[in-house]
Amino acid sequence: MFLTSEQIAAAQRASLETLCGLTLKVFESLERLTALNLQASRAHFADGTNVTLKALSATSTQEILALQEETIKPAQEKFLSYIRQLSEISDAAQLDFSAFIEGVQAANAEKLLAFFAKVSEASPVASESTVAIVKSAIHAAQTAYLSVQQVTKETAELANATLGGGEMESESSTPEDSEA
């Protein structure tokens, strides 16, 4: 069976559409990441300026130590907030990519099964077992793909839960707790 120029063009068009779709998803994620980084940089610069001005106007070491103490907790909270937002962007991007890839994979599986159905109709009776084996292999590959995807999702959820637990521990612990 030979491929026609229309089939080759359709395959190239489908590949280009897939590439463009993934590229758009990457740009969306990069836009969100850039916005977060610009916001964090702006806030860090403003906070640094305020702390510097306060430190320059301090008249004693006690005032500088008090300033340091009052700026540490908000800085830690802002950092944890940044990490959470970064994690949200990463999770959203992962979901977008997964949904996109699942759609492409499902469409390709349907096309492949349709192709083999067409081949089985045109083939002699003796080749039915070969076509059945190929269809079974396709089904097994799809099942394996879904299993791996489920394990990956569960692993990511476990990692997020573990990271979330670590953040909560960091937020609730204070220097007094670590000295005790």
Residue 94 located in a structural domain: yes
Between 6 and 38, where is the model more confident? 38
Q: Are 88 and 32 in contact (CB under 8 A)?
A: no
Between 166 and 40, where is the model more confident? 40
In the numeric block, which tokens belong to residue 141? 């590959």
Residue 134 located in a structural domain: yes
Q: Phi then psi for 37, rounded to 5 degrees?
A: -65, -40
What pLDDT is attached to residue 168?
44
Cα–Cα distance for residue pair 132/112, rounded to 1 Å: 13
Quick one: the chain helix, strand, coil %, rounded to 5? 95, 0, 5
Residue 150 located in a structural domain: yes
What pLDDT is attached to residue 2?
63
Is residue 124 left, alpha or beta, with left meaning phi > 0 and alpha meaning psi from -120 to 50?
Answer: beta
pLDDT digits (tens, 9 = 90+) for 52-72: 999 899 889 899 899 888 999
Residue 29 located in a structural domain: yes
pLDDT digits (tens, 9 = 90+) for 100-139: 888 888 888 788 777 777 777 776 666 677 777 777 887 7
Residue 180 located in a structural domain: no
Domain span at 151: 5-172
Q: Are 84 and 160 in contact (CB under 8 A)?
A: no
Q: Is the pLDDT of residue 179 over 60?
A: no
Cα–Cα distance for residue pair 180/174, rounded to 1 Å: 10
Overall domain count for the chain? 1
The pTM is what? 0.63
Between 147 and 180, where is the model more confident? 147
Residue 178 located in a structural domain: no
What pLDDT is attached to residue 27?
93
